Each structure stands twice: as C-alpha cells, then as structure tokens.
C-alpha cells in the first residue's frame, strides 16, 4: 500500500521553496485526506514531502502532534473562507448565507472524501486523543458562526436553522461519499435554500 501511495505521489505536492515543516504539513494533510489517517505512516509522509523521519520528528514530536497541526491548518483555511464571504458580500448577511450554501455545494461536488474534521473524528476513536478536542471545538465554532449569520440575516429561530443547515451539510458530505454525485447530495442547495426561505421573516 505504501509503495502504491508513493508511486501516486511521485510529483511533489509542495513548492520547492517551502520550508520542510510546511511541506510536511501540506503533504500529511493531503495523504491523510486521500488515504486515511490510520493508513498513512510517518515514513510515507516524510518520503512524499521530500524529507526524512529525523526532520519530521524534529518539527513534530509524534504522529499525533502532526495530526493536530494538520487540523489547525484546516481551521485556518476555514477561517479564510468565512472572511471571503464577508469580503464578497459586505454588510449583507443574507447574501453571505446563500453564498455559504453555494460554496459548500462546490466543496461537496469537488471532493468526495468528506470533511477533514469529521474523518478525523471517525478514525481517532480514542476520547483522549489530542485531536478529538480540536474536532469538537471546530464543529462548535462552525455551528456558532453559522447561527450568528442566520441571526444577522434576520431569520426566525436562527439556532434551529443553523443546526438544520449544519446537519444537511454533514449528511450531504457522507451521501457524496456513499451514494456518489447523483445521490441526495446533489440536492443540497435546493434543500438548504428551502430551509432558509422557510424561516425568513416574510415566510
């Protein structure tokens, strides 16, 4: 399995000018996402990143530490997406919410491997794993941010709407993995927009 992964990853995922630490994180995120956290070992990560285990362990004391750093990097990407929504629709929470729906649909369609955080929660079943807390905190922040946006958009029962949209997104990602692009996930936008419309002040 490791040899096959190495063959599939012959071309480096990272820019030559990146620092070894950054290369390791970028490579680990990609390999974990494509093949699973428990499938990929540090040897494979080091080789694909164009470095060695000694360098990897110099930056990260363990594979668990690297997993945590990968999730932190994913959180930074997510924060950038929220900032993009605000930049594209300044002062218009309703437009930001609809844009959130559209962007989520794009991510679902483009990537059938699901959410990095949800996948980590499934694979890292031990309650004492350091990444578990990060996953729980991220999901709560995401849901709370969505609830705030629903509230700013003037929707009735914004917490209920946020929970509904959050569950729709989680379900759509799983459906994309299990039922393919023509399954229920293909109707995510219609369902999400229907939820938003039904809780609008004029509904």
The segment(s) of the chain belonging to CATH 1.10.10.60 are 2-59
| Alpha-carbon separation of residue 156 from 91, 142, 144, 164 (angstroms) | 19, 19, 16, 13
CATH, domain 71-198, list 1.10.240.10, 1.10.357.10, 1.10.150.120, 3.40.50.920:
1.10.357.10
Count of other CB atoms within 10 angstroms of residue 39: 14
What is the reported pLDDT for 13? Answer: 56
Query: What is the pLDDT, as a whole number, of residue 12?
Result: 46
2-59 CATH fold: Arc Repressor Mutant, subunit A (1.10.10)
Q: What is the pTM of this model?
A: 0.87
Alpha-carbon radius of gyration of the chain: 19
Listed in order, the ranges of the chain carrying CATH 1.10.357.10 are 71-198
Q: What is the pLDDT of residue 81?
A: 96
Per-residue pLDDT of the chain (203 residues; tens, 9 = 90+): 555 665 555 454 555 678 999 999 999 999 999 999 999 999 999 999 999 999 999 999 999 999 999 999 999 999 999 999 999 999 999 999 999 999 999 999 988 888 999 999 999 988 889 999 999 999 999 999 999 999 999 999 999 999 999 999 999 999 998 999 899 999 999 999 999 999 996 54
């Amino acid at each position: 399995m490791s040899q096959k992964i190495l063959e599939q990853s012959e071309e480096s995922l990272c820019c030559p000018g990146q620092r070894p630490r950054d290369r390791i994180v970028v490579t680990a995120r990609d390999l974990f996402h494509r093949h699973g956290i428990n499938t990929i070992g540090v040897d494979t990560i080091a080789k694909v990143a164009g470095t060695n285990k000694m360098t990897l362990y110099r930056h990260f004391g363990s594979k668990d530490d690297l997993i945590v750093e990968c999730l932190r990097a994913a959180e930074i990407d997510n924060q950038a997406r929220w900032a993009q929504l605000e930049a594209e629709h300044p002062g218009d929470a309703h437009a930001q919410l609809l844009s959130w729906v559209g962007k989520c649909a794009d991510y679902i369609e483009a990537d059938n491997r699901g959410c990095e955080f949800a996948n980590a929660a499934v694979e890292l079943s031990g309650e004492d794993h350091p990444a578990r807390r990060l996953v729980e905190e991220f999901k709560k922040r995401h849901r709370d941010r969505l609830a705030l946006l629903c509230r700013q958009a003037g929707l009735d029962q914004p917490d209920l709407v946020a929970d509904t949209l959050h569950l729709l997104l989680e379900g759509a990602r799983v459906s994309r993995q299990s039922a393919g692009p023509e399954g229920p996930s293909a109707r995510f936008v219609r369902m999400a927009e229907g939820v938003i419309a039904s809780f609008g002040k004029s509904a």
